[in-house]
Amino acid sequence: MKSFKNKPINLTRYAVLLLSCFTLVTMDSGCKKALDSKVYSQLTPENFYKSESDINAAVITIYSPFSSNWDQTDPGNGNQSASLYNADIKTYLLKSIMTTDEGGTDWDQNLTNFTFGPATYQGLGNSVYPFISYVAKATDVINNVSQVTSVSDNVKKKYLAETKVLRAWLMFVLYDFFGPVNAKTDPATLSSNTITPRPTAEVYSAQIESDLTSAIPDLPAKYNTDNTNWGRMSQGMAQMLLLKLYMQNKQWAKAEATAKTITTMGYSLMPNYADVFNVKQNNELIYSVPTNSSSPNYWMQEVLPGDFASAGNITRGPGWAGYYMPWAFYDKYEAADTRKNTIIASYTTSAGKIANRASGLRGAIPLKYTGIAGLGDGPGYNFDVVVFRYAEVLLSLAEAINEQRGPADAYQYVNMVRSRAGVSAFSGMSTDQFRTALLDERGRELYCEGTRRQDLVRQGLLISNAIARGKTSAQPYMTLFPIPSDVMIQGNGIIKQNPGYSN
């Protein structure tokens, strides 16, 4: 150190050395390159959509809204929405159940009392409408996959067809709740920020129909025997969605034809009703949401009471006491109906007492998945969430026939379902009588599967049914949910609210 003293020459050398080092650090790779952003943990257009695995990953994103898991984070805006077929009160499934006489809950007063408005469901609570962005995502995937050159045409066709069915399904879900919405199906509009008006129901339905019909040739018939691919979109699923669309639109002839097509596809009723829900990939299933322990089925946990100890062969800890089946609905079952075996009307509490209607129990427990016996306390179970099944096809076929030409030809289909339930066959009814009886039959057969609301709406009974239950705030226009306030504000007058609701 001493040597530095008063010797500027050494100083200079020292300084030059330092400055050179410093300069090297900064100038090494050149200013311009140094300021490029390197992306480590995400993908870019340069390295994505290059292989079949990439395509599969892109398509999985379009599947994700249908998951049984709690919620989905929309990658395009970071917002969370409850998955459509999760057992939470915010979902498409539960909003369908709880606006009808088949379900009761303390968890959403606005829903059960018909006091919802455009601003009621916000954020995570607004859990159906936001999936409109997944229609655009599906359109983007279709557009990108069509342009991939590194993958064979057959592979591309299969994924394109899958994506189209998913897009149609998403559009049907939105249609069911909100009527036609301005979902984006034209790739040319994907990057446009112009607000587009809502299409007519005809245009909207035609889009769903064309996605489904054009996808069918490129899809396998079904996956019921394929353990690896169970859960993927199939011909059966595409036909089922067509049937749902035609039923919704009361296009009875088309509905009948589609249902009859499905009857030729090898589906059959399970001999025992309870097995439909307990046996994976059984032959009655057209679609169930696949589950595993990371994305299980929470329904059973949600419906079991907070003081549950045992009922029949099921012994386990308490559940979350979320939902119940009002006694009035439970009373629709005939005494001999074996479907009641999947509904708990009496149980032993953790205090050792019997809880039932007489003891003040608020409703029956629509357990549905009885296979949980002996499988522990949950909260989730690996029973796939049943969405569409052959029994609904048969009941829809019966309805479509009755609406066109009376019940004579329709009895055979509904009685297949009744016979399995161990109740006597329908016969000797007028068209109106059959319509009413079939509505109840659908209720009993498909309880808590999300079809009751559609059935009541189709028959024009959703509101009168609610008012009869004392839900006096229910208004005739509430057969559709309101377009959410934030969408209306962004819509700037171009998007029209469903009639009856304030903007």
Partner 1 sequence: MQHFTFLLKKSWPLLLLFQLIIFSAAYAQQITISGTVTSTTGEPLIGVSVLLKGTSIGAQTDVKGNYLLKTANTKGTLVFTYIGFNTKEESIDGRNKINVQLTDNSKSLNEVVVLGYGTSNKRDVTGSVVSVKTSDLPQVAVTSVNNMLQGQAAGLTLGTRSAQPGGGLTVSIRGSLSPNGDNSPLYVIDGVPITSNASAVPALNDKDLGFYGGVDQDPLSSINPSDIQSVDVLKDASATAIYGAAAANGVILVTTKRGKAGKAVVSYSGSYTIQDPKKYFDLLDATGFETQQVRLAHDKYLYDNSLPPYGNTAPSAVAPFTPLFTQDQINNAGKGTDWLGLIMRNGSVNEQNISVSGGTDKTKIFTSFNYYDNTAILENSNFKRYSGRVNIDQQLGDRVKFSLNLTFSQINSANVATGSNSGGAEKYNELQSAYTFAPNIGIYNPDGTYTKSYDNLITNPAAFFIIQNQTTTNRFIASPNIEVKVTDDLKWNTIVGVDKQTGELNFYLPAKAQNYQLPDGMAQLATNHIENYSAESYLTYTKKIKDNSFSVVGGVGYYKTINKSFGLEAVDFFTDAFGYNNVGAASDKDRSFQNSNRAPDLIKLSGYFRANYSFKDKYLLTVTGREDGESYFAPNRKYGFFPGASLGWRIAQEDFLKESKVISNLKLRVGYGTSGNSTILGTNSLPLYGTGPQYVIGTTNLPGVGLTQIANPNLSWETDKTINAGLDYGFFNDRITGSLDVYQKSATDLLDYDKLPVNNAVGRVATNVGETRSRGIEFSILSRNVISDDFKWTTNFNISAYKNYWVQRNPATAYAQYIGYNDPIREIYGWQTNGIIHNTSQIPSYMPGAKLGNIIYINHNNDGKLDINDVVKLGNPDPKFSLGFGNTFTYKNFDLYVFMYGSFGMYMTNNYGAYYDPTIINVANAHNTLAGISNVFTADNPNGIYPGYASNPYTGSNPSTVNNFYGQKVNFLRLKNITLGYKLPIKQSFIKSLRFFVDLQNLAVITNYKGYDPEFTEVNPYPQATSTTFGVNANF
Binding mask 224-263 for partner 1 (x = CB under 8 A): --xxxxxxx-------------------------------
Instruction: List Cβ neighbours of 313 (8 Å cut-off, separation of 6 or more).
Output: 373, 374
Q: How far apart are CA 238 and CA 216, in angstroms?
A: 7
Should residue 15 be labelled a site residue for partner 1 when binding is judged by CB under 8 A?
Answer: yes
Should residue 294 be labelled a site residue for partner 1 when binding is judged by CB under 8 A?
Answer: yes
Which listed residue (204, 299, 411, 501) binds partner 1 by CB under 8 A? Answer: 501
Minimal distance, residue 400 CB to partner 1, in Å = 32
Determine how many CB atoms are found less than 10 A away from the CB of residue 109: 10
Q: How far apart are CA 249 and CA 203, in angstroms?
A: 12
CA angle 93, 95, 96 (to 5 degrees): 65
Should residue 313 be labelled a site residue for partner 1 when binding is judged by CB under 8 A?
Answer: no
Choice between 149 and 293, CB closer to partner 1: 293
CA angle 49, 53, 59 (to 5 degrees): 75
**Token couple for 471:** 């839900």
DSSP 107: S
CA angle 274, 278, 354 (to 5 degrees): 60
Which residues lie across from 155 on neighbouring strands?
none
Query: What's the first-to-final CA gap in the chain, in angstroms?
Result: 80
CA angle 73, 75, 79 (to 5 degrees): 45
Which residues lie across from 365 on neighbouring strands?
344
Choice between 304 and 446, CB closer to partner 1: 304
Q: Name the residue type at position 250.
A: K
Minimal distance, residue 466 CB to partner 1, in Å = 12
Q: How far apart are CA 239 and CA 108, in angstroms?
A: 34
Q: Name the residue type at position 174.
A: L
Minimal distance, residue 40 CB to partner 1, in Å = 4
Minimal distance, residue 492 CB to partner 1, in Å = 4
Which listed residue (95, 137, 368, 453) binds partner 1 by CB under 8 A? Answer: 137
Q: Are 212 and 241 in contact (CB under 8 A)?
A: yes
Choice between 89 and 269, CB closer to partner 1: 89
Residues 152-181 that bind partner 1 (CB under 8 A): 181
Determine how many CB atoms are found less than 10 A away from the CB of residue 264: 7
Minimal distance, residue 56 CB to partner 1, in Å = 7
CA-CA-CA-CA dihedral for 446, 498, 403, 233, to nearest 10: -50
Residues 22-61 that bind partner 1 (CB under 8 A): 22-23, 25-27, 31, 34-45, 48, 54, 56-61
Should residue 12 be labelled a site residue for partner 1 when binding is judged by CB under 8 A?
Answer: yes
Should residue 106 be labelled a site residue for partner 1 when binding is judged by CB under 8 A?
Answer: yes
DSSP of 301-370 = HHHS-TTEEEETTEE-------EEB-HHHHTTS-TT-GGGGGSBS-EEETTS-EESTTTT--SBB----G
DSSP 314: E
Should residue 81 be labelled a site residue for partner 1 when binding is judged by CB under 8 A?
Answer: no
Should residue 318 be labelled a site residue for partner 1 when binding is judged by CB under 8 A?
Answer: yes
Closest Cα to residue 490, out of 204, 123, 196?
196
Should residue 489 be labelled a site residue for partner 1 when binding is judged by CB under 8 A?
Answer: yes
Should residue 67 be labelled a site residue for partner 1 when binding is judged by CB under 8 A?
Answer: yes
Minimal distance, residue 332 CB to partner 1, in Å = 18
Residues 342-371 that bind partner 1 (CB under 8 A): 359-360, 362
Residues 386-415 that bind partner 1 (CB under 8 A): none
Minimal distance, residue 403 CB to partner 1, in Å = 34
**Token couple for 7:** 């010797």
Residues 468-487 that bind partner 1 (CB under 8 A): 470, 472-473, 482, 485-487
Q: How far apart are CA 282 and CA 267, in angstroms?
A: 9
Should residue 182 be labelled a site residue for partner 1 when binding is judged by CB under 8 A?
Answer: yes
Closest Cα to residue 121, out of 491, 488, 454?
488
Which listed residue (86, 91, 139, 235) binds partner 1 by CB under 8 A? Answer: 139
Minimal distance, residue 327 CB to partner 1, in Å = 9
Paired sense of beta strands 80-82 and 314-315, if any:
unpaired
Should residue 103 be labelled a site residue for partner 1 when binding is judged by CB under 8 A?
Answer: no
Determine how many CB atoms are found less than 10 A away from the CB of residue 47: 10
Tell me the residue ranges of DSSP E strands in 340-437. Answer: 347-349, 354-355, 385-389
Minimal distance, residue 238 CB to partner 1, in Å = 17
Which listed residue (64, 205, 258, 402) binds partner 1 by CB under 8 A? Answer: 64
Should residue 284 be labelled a site residue for partner 1 when binding is judged by CB under 8 A?
Answer: no
Output Rg (C-alpha) for the chain, integer angstroms. Answer: 28
Choice between 64 and 258, CB closer to partner 1: 64
Minimal distance, residue 412 CB to partner 1, in Å = 35
Binding mask 197-226 for partner 1 (x = CB under 8 A): -----------------------------x
Which listed residue (290, 407, 443, 450) binds partner 1 by CB under 8 A? Answer: 290
Should residue 374 be labelled a site residue for partner 1 when binding is judged by CB under 8 A?
Answer: no
**Token couple for 164:** 């189209």
Should residue 335 be labelled a site residue for partner 1 when binding is judged by CB under 8 A?
Answer: no
Should residue 315 be labelled a site residue for partner 1 when binding is judged by CB under 8 A?
Answer: no
Binding residues for partner 1, total number by CB under 8 A: 128
Q: Which of the ranges 193-201, 250-258, 271-279, 443-451 carries the binding residues for partner 1, by CB under 8 A?
A: 193-201
